[in-house]
Amino acid sequence: MIATLEGVVAQKSGDVVVVECSGIGYGLLVSFEDHGVLKTGEKTKLYIYEHIRENAHDLFGFSKMEAKILFEQLLSVNGVGPKMALAILSIASLQHVRQAIASGDTKFISQAVGVGKRVAERVVVDLKDKVGLTVSEDATGFLTSPAANPDDEAQQGLVALGYSVQDAAEALKNIDTKLSPAERIKQALKN
């Protein structure tokens, strides 16, 4: 069983990050937020979840233990597999997702790829009391913290350029959303 991997980020493509450890490159599926934080050529330590099936051996990597714990909690929900759990974690920051579950925001959770209304309801019912938050806890931070927006092409572009999700959201905060994604990226880079 692989619990953690510590090595250098060798490459990033799509939602896969390759971490090289002692000459072996491990392909890890990561969330949108972690993909933005990890930088090619830099050393990192990731917490690993292994998913072994008859025809596949997938590794899921998380930069924070809290993310791995929430991922495993999502897997405990009937109908949620590893890729769907990762999709749920990828819709926003970890704190934002936890807050959405705690507050029962099924509409927000159903934004994840492959997650329908019924699955979102099951996630809320099963995990509402287990995510470690109360509805009022950290509410102001939740409302003001920037989150990953999977529909924002400009934010995705900045993340692909190496910005963290939070930095990309901050850089785009005061830029007109009516501009094209390319123009928004240009203005964000100028600032």
pLDDT digits (tens, 9 = 90+) for 58-91: 999 999 999 999 999 999 999 999 999 999 998 8
Same domain, 10 and 52: yes
* Residue range 15-54, pLDDT digits in tens: 899 999 999 999 999 998 888 889 999 999 999 999 998 8
- Which residue from 107, 105, 104, 127 is spatially nearest to 115, judged by alpha carbons? 107
Do 71 and 138 fall within a single domain?
A: yes
CATH of the domain at 26: 2.40.50.140
Residues 136, 89: one domain? yes
Domain that holds residue 10: 4-62
Which among 82-96, 142-156, 159-173 has the top mean pLDDT? Answer: 82-96
Q: Are residues 104 and 163 in the same domain?
A: no
pLDDT at 118: 93
Q: 44 vs 180, which has greater pLDDT?
A: 44
For residues 48 and 69, state if they share a domain: no
User: How many domains does the chain divide into?
Assistant: 3
* Whether residue 142 has pLDDT greater than 50: no
Give 158's contacts (C-beta < 8 A, 6+ positions apart). 167, 168, 171, 172, 185, 188
Shared domain check, 72 and 41: no
pLDDT of residue 140 exceeding 70: no
Tell me: do 22 and 46 sit in the same domain: yes
